[in-house]
Amino acid sequence: MDTDLVIVGSGLFGLTMARRAAEDAGARVLIIEKRSHIGGNAYSHTDPETGIEVHTYGAHLFHTSNERVWEFVNRFTSFTNYVHRVYTTVDGVVYPMPVNLGTINQFFSAAYSPDEARALIASQAAEIDEGRADENFRTKGISLVGEPLFRAFFEGYTAKQWQTDPEDLPASIVSRLPVRYTYDNRYFSDTWEGLPTDGYAAWLERMADHPNITIMCDTDFFDESQPYHRDALVGKVPLVYTGPLDRYFDYSRGELGWRTIDFETEVKPVGDFQGTSVMNYGDRDVAYTRIHEFRHFHPERDYPRDKTVIAREYSRFAGRDDEPYYPVNTDADREKLLAYRELAKDEPKVLFGGRLGTYKYLDMHMAIASALSRYDAIVGPYLRGEDGAQ
Ligand code: FAD
Ligand code: NA
């Protein structure tokens, strides 16, 4: 085979690894991708009716403070000056998120100074008995921000995300809840933030566009009817695997828990549905967790003024055939993960990477940073045939 490296999965981890291997080591890289398009979950498509860019797998906001990542991504795309802000609707009123002084003053119809608000929240948080805080997510949450704020802004949203009563969720899922005692409602605090000017698909395609990189879409690594499947490749060619870790080992140590998301996408016959890109819904009796309105990610674009695309987002536990989105990370999951890591050590010339391959939530900049550093430490030296590389 005239391939020096096979990469399973064309998400940002796989693409970054491919790019480095092709450019730095001159390696011939083959990427196999199960889906019919590249880019993993960062991919976006153009809605045919409106021309609006839709983030196919949920809203993706790029942000980083990592200079190397910023320089790397800017080789393939420029970024707009979009700054992300989120609002939430609770009990018929819209508030700015994350919970900040504006949220608090609106909620209590007050004009507290930062110190006054801090004192109020501290006194409300103190109402939960010492020692009860670690009982469950609800008691923990109240011990952090007090009952009124917890109920309005954290309880319902979290219950919907986890499909579980807050009393039945472990206290350990939270060590702090975000509350800011200023009016700053900028969602991210990283040095750089923005959206790819020509869209995600264009960015991802430019990353893949290199004479040494070949991509095969609609190709499943576990499909034995195609030549590039697991048993035909492992041990014979170096592999980077970015699919689900448990799937690679035929679930032999059990299934790792994931949450998934369902999107209900709709074109609305109005120019502006909600006035902002992301609106959360904190009430438990509203089934969705949030609504995205994609036109607001690109106010600089010339989108139609009489139509808009929205997506309602619903959260639930993932079955084996669902898209795995967020690791659940129970104690049982952690045990299985350790067992899989042991198995992974014995796989010849296979590197497990990315969010699925390591069972870790990674933001885009983290997936890229991880691929850059694991290329430097492991894949690069190996491809260049350096002594000591495994
Ligand atoms: P992925 O993008 O998942 O790529 C893995 C690829 O492997 C996929 O294309 C998959 O089809 C392929 N694959 C899997 N199994 C096989 C197989 N058997 N054979 C062949 N191919 C296979 N990050 C941010 O920075 N900002 C955000 O706002 C943000 N929002 C997000 C919202 C949601 C709902 C989700 C789920 C993630 C979000 N992220 C965000 C994270 C971002 O999506 C990840 O950082 C990024 O996708 C990680 O890239 P990856 O290559 O590790 O994984
Ligand atoms: Na997101």
| Residue to mutate (ligand 1; options 20, 31, 41; most atoms within 8 A of CB) | 41
pLDDT interval class at 179 (50, 70, 90): very high
Residue 16: pLDDT above 80? yes
Q: For residue 355, which atom of ligand 1 is closest to its CA?
A: 52
* Stronger pLDDT, 175 or 305, i.e. the higher one: 305
Residue 85: pLDDT above 60? yes
Which of 28, 118, 206, 259 is flagged as catalytic? Answer: 259
pLDDT score of 357: 97
User: How far does the centroid of ligand 1 lie from the alpha carbon of residue 95, in Å?
Assistant: 30
Residue 267: pLDDT above 70? yes
Structure tokens at 139: 């008691």
Residue 214: pLDDT above 70? yes
Query: Is the CB of residue 358 less than 8 Å from the CB of residue 329?
Result: no
Task: Provide the percentage of residues in the chain whose pLDDT is more than 90.
Answer: 85
Would the ipTM clear 0.90, i.e. be above it?
yes
Give the β-pairing of 29-32 and 213-216: parallel
pLDDT score of 169: 85
User: How far does the centroid of ligand 1 lie from the alpha carbon of residue 164, in Å?
Assistant: 25
pLDDT score of 389: 55
* Stronger pLDDT, 212 or 321, i.e. the higher one: 212
Residue 246: pLDDT above 70? yes
Residue 264: pLDDT above 60? yes
Assign domain 97-173 one CATH number from 3.90.25, 1.10.3110, 1.10.10, 2.60.120.
1.10.3110
Q: Using a 6 Å cutoff on CB, does residue 222 contact ligand 1?
A: yes
Residue 390: pLDDT above 60? no
* 20 alpha-carbon distance from chain centroid: 23
* C-alpha distances in Å from residue 337, one per residue of 75, 230, 257, 283: 35, 20, 10, 34
Residue 388: pLDDT above 60? no
- pTM of the model as a whole: 0.95
Nearest CA to ligand 1 atom 40: 363
* C-alpha distances in Å from residue 325, one per residue of 61, 143, 317: 16, 29, 10
Tally of CB atoms within 10 A around 10: 27
Read off the pLDDT of each residue in 299-313 and give the average, rounded to a whole number.
Answer: 98
For 332: left if phi > 0, alpha if psi spans -120 to 50, otherwise beta; the answer is alpha
Domains of the chain, by residue range, sit at 5-81+193-256+327-383, 97-173
5-81+193-256+327-383 has CATH 3.40.718.10 classification: no
Nearest CA to ligand 1 atom 23: 363
Residue 1: pLDDT above 80? no
Q: Is 68 one of the annotated active-site residues of the chain?
A: no
pLDDT score of 387: 64
